Amino acid sequence: MTIQWFPGHMAKAKREVQEKLKLVDFVIELVDARVPESSQNPMLQQVLQGKPVMRVLMKKDLADFEKTTKWIDHFKRENTPAVAVNVQEKQDIQQVINLAKEMGREKMKKLEKKGVRPRPARAMIIGIPNVGKSTLINRLANKKIAKTGDRPGVTTSQQWIKVKKDFELLDTPGILWPKFEDQLVGYRLAAIGTIKDQLLPMDDIAVFILRFLGENYPEIMENRFKISRNQEDMEEIFSDIGKARGALESGGKVNFDKTADIVIRDLRTGKLGRITLEDPPSIS
């Protein structure tokens, strides 16, 4: 299965990012803590023109804690400041503010040396769809400014947002890229809800999730779905999960579509536990 999603407004957003980049001092890139590499947009990396970047790993409460720590260490080794965030935690929001202030401090010093009156640092916030940009912005500004939603494509234009007196944010729409060179990236992004479900065969995504769990979190397969570690037949696994969770049609036949929805929903809502779908290079 080939997974692609690049609506027209994303191409427009890419052009706008390129145009507005000269207005900001640094970039805040949001990634999903469950897929920290797959949720980086390689197309955006090409247009950032050497701007300093800080990386925020969103939804850390859904991700494997140990792997999140290793991902942050990995980014820091690449000279990219990084922090993991649960937007419901005030201390995490403050960490983002502190790191952003630190990122802007060097620019402000340069302006002062040139005799320019100090101003708030300016940052562009970027990320793929449904990564949580609007929710984070509202927490940073401490009021509802950006539209939020649990589906991709909510933000469709750019806007400036003031974060107290500390810095100013330029919000941008979530942008995917035209082609996933590695189809595993597409599966990971589909699993966490980055791509609209209506565009995908969800049973294939559920199969990807179940195979990943079997290889990396077999205890979850046993505890949540009652699937033994040596059980490999996917039709049998679907059937057992469907029966256990009541995904049945008249006559007691398992509805595979409903079963797939259950698996995907359990992953996205954290009911399966804290799961990260890829390891940093250092432990791959």
What pLDDT score was predicted for residue 93? 94
Give the mean pLDDT of 3-21. 66
Checking if the pLDDT of 134 tops 60, the result is yes
Whether domain 201-283 has CATH 3.40.190.10: the reply is: no
Q: Would you state the pLDDT for residue 28?
A: 93
Contact status, residue 174 vs residue 127, Cβ threshold 8 Å: yes
Please state the rounded mean pLDDT for residues 219-242: 92
Average pLDDT of the chain, as a whole number: 85
Q: For the whole model, what pTM was predicted?
A: 0.86
**Cα separation, 144 vs 202, whole angstroms:** 33
Question: Which residues, listed in sequence order, are joined to residue 30 by a DSSP beta bridge?
Answer: 56, 127
How much is the average pLDDT of 68-84? Answer: 95
- What order of strands is seen across the sheet that includes strand 159-163? 82-84, 53-58, 26-32, 121-127, 167-171, 159-163
pLDDT tens-digit series, residues 175-193: 665 566 678 888 999 999 9
HEC profile for 117-171? CCCCEEEEEEECCCCCHHHHHHHHHCCCCCCCCCCCCCCCCCEEEEECCCEEEEE
| pLDDT band at 143; cut points 50, 70, 90 | confident
What pLDDT sits at residue 10?
58
Structural class in CATH, domain 8-171: alpha beta
- pLDDT tier, 151 (very low <50, low <70, confident <90, very high otherwise): very low
Across the range 148-176, mean pLDDT stands at 65
Q: Is the confidence at residue 90, as pLDDT, over 50?
A: yes
Has residue 148 got a pLDDT over 90? no
Confidence of residue 152 (pLDDT cuts 50, 70, 90): very low
Predicted pLDDT of residue 175: 67
Sequence ranges of the domains in the chain: 8-171, 201-283
d(CA 145, CA 81): 26
Name residue, tokens 């927490």. Answer: 139
* Residues linked to residue 101 through DSSP beta bridges, in sequence order: none
SS3 227: coil
